[in-house]
Amino acid sequence: MNNNKLHALFNDKLIWITGASSGIGEQLCYDLSKLGARLILSARRSDELERVKNACAQPDKHLILPLDMLQEADIIAAADKVNSQFGAVDYLFNNAGITQRSLINETETDIYRKVMELNYFAQVTLTRQVLPGMLARGEGHIVTTSSIAGLIGIPYRSAYCSSKHAIIGFMDSLRSEVHDKGLRVTTLCPGFVRTNIIETARREGTAQEKVEDTVIKNGMSVEAAIAQVLDAVANEKEQVVIAEGKEGMGPIIKRFFPSIIYKMVRKMALT
C-alpha cells in the first residue's frame, strides 16, 4: 500500500505502542509518526522513550507513558489514565516482549514465568483494559506481535515459543468474539528481525551471557519488517507472517509437511 493511502488511514489516529523504546516498537513510532498519527509510547525506560519521541515526526503530538508491563497494577493504572484523558484508542500495538535462549534442562521455572508474564499475561491484561472503550465506540484495532516461533517450536527458546503460541490462541479467541462489533484483531508473526532483543534478554536474565544469536543478526531489517506490518494492518489481515524469503515458508511447510519442518529445526544451533 502506498504512503498516501497509509497516511489517509493513520493520520490523526490515536495509537498506543508498547515496547516503544527499541526494535519493532521503536520503528513503528517513527513510521507511524511520519503518517500523521498521534502516539502514546510505553516502555520502562523514560530516557529511551524521550529519545524515541524526539526522533519522531512532530514530537509535540506524542505522549510518553512509562510502564512496567510486569506489574499488572501499573498496566491497569496506565490504561485508566489513557481512557480518562483520551477515551478509546484507535489502535493498540501490543509489542512489548522478551526472548529467551537456553536449553530446557538448564532453564529455571522463574524464567518460564517471567517470559510468560510479559509475552502473554501482560498483553492479555492491557487488551482487556482497552477493550471496553473500543466496544462502546464500535471501533478499534488491536495489533499484537507474536512470532513465527508462535507457530513453530524451535530449540533453545522453549519459554519464548510457549508464550508466543499462547498469545496467538488468545487473539484468535478475541477475534472470534468481536468480529461483528466493529473491531479488528491482527496477529503479527515476525521471523528473525535485526533488533537488540537478545541484548535485552541478557540484561533481563532470560538469556545466558555467553549466548549470541546469529539468526537474528542475519535477519531482515526492522525497516522492511515494519513495511510489511503496516501493510497487514491497513489491509486488516487477521494473522500474517512477517518474513523474507524461505523463512516465511516455515508455517506452510509445517502445515502440509510437518515431518520436514521438525527435521529442519533440529539443525538450529545455540551459537
Confidence of residue 200 (pLDDT cuts 50, 70, 90): low
At residue 107, what are phi and psi to the nearest 5 degrees? -110, 120
SS3 of 172, please? helix
Residue 50 has pLDDT above 90, yes or no: yes
- Residue 126 pLDDT exceeds 70: yes
Amino acid residing at 227: A
pLDDT score at 258: 87
pLDDT(270) > 60: no
Is 3-265 in CATH node 3.40.50.720? Answer: yes
Average the pLDDT over 56-77 and give the result.
97
Q: How many CA atoms lie within 13 A of 101 on its CB side?
A: 22
Helix (H, G, I), strand (E, B) or coil at 141: strand
Mean pLDDT of the chain: 91
**pTM for the predicted model, two decimal places:** 0.91
**Rounded to whole angstroms, how far apart are CA atoms 242 and 114?**
25
Domain ranges across the chain: 3-265
End-to-end Cα, the chain, rounded Å: 38
Region 104-123 average pLDDT: 96
**What 3-state DSSP class applies to 40?**
strand
pLDDT in tens, 130-147: 999 999 999 999 999 999
Residue 271 pLDDT > 50: no
Q: How high is the pLDDT of residue 265?
A: 85
Q: Band the pLDDT of 121: cuts 50, 70, 90.
A: very high
pLDDT in tens, 224-235: 999 999 999 999
Report whether pLDDT(177) > 80.
Answer: yes
Asked if 133 contacts 83 with a C-beta cutoff of 8 angstroms, the reply is yes
Place of cell 491484561: 125
Cα 122 to the center of its chain, rounded Å = 12
DSSP state of 243: -
Which range, of 127-136, 156-165, 202-211, averages the lowest pLDDT?
202-211
| Distant-in-sequence, close-in-space partners of 106: CB < 8 Å, separation ≥ 6 | none
> Residues 173, 179, 182, 188: is their CA dihedral positive or negative?
positive
Q: How far apart are CA 191 and CA 165, in angstroms?
A: 14
Tell me what pLDDT residue 257 has.
87
Better-predicted residue by pLDDT, 248 or 9: 9
Q: Which residue has the higher pLDDT, 17 or 197?
A: 17
Over residues 61-85, the mean pLDDT reads: 97
Q: Inter-axis angle of helices 122-137 and 158-178, to 10 degrees?
A: 10
Contacts (Cβ under 8 Å, ≥6 apart) of 242: 188, 189, 190, 191, 193, 225, 228, 229, 232
In the predicted structure, residue 190 carries a pLDDT above the cut 80? yes
**Which pLDDT does position 211 carry in this prediction?**
56
Confidence band (pLDDT; 50, 70, 90) for 192?
confident
Q: What is the distance between the alpha carbons of residues 132 and 135, in angstroms, rounded to a whole number?
A: 5
Instruction: Tell me the catalytic residues.
Output: 160
State the average pLDDT over residues 84-96. Answer: 96
C-alpha cell at 170: 488468545
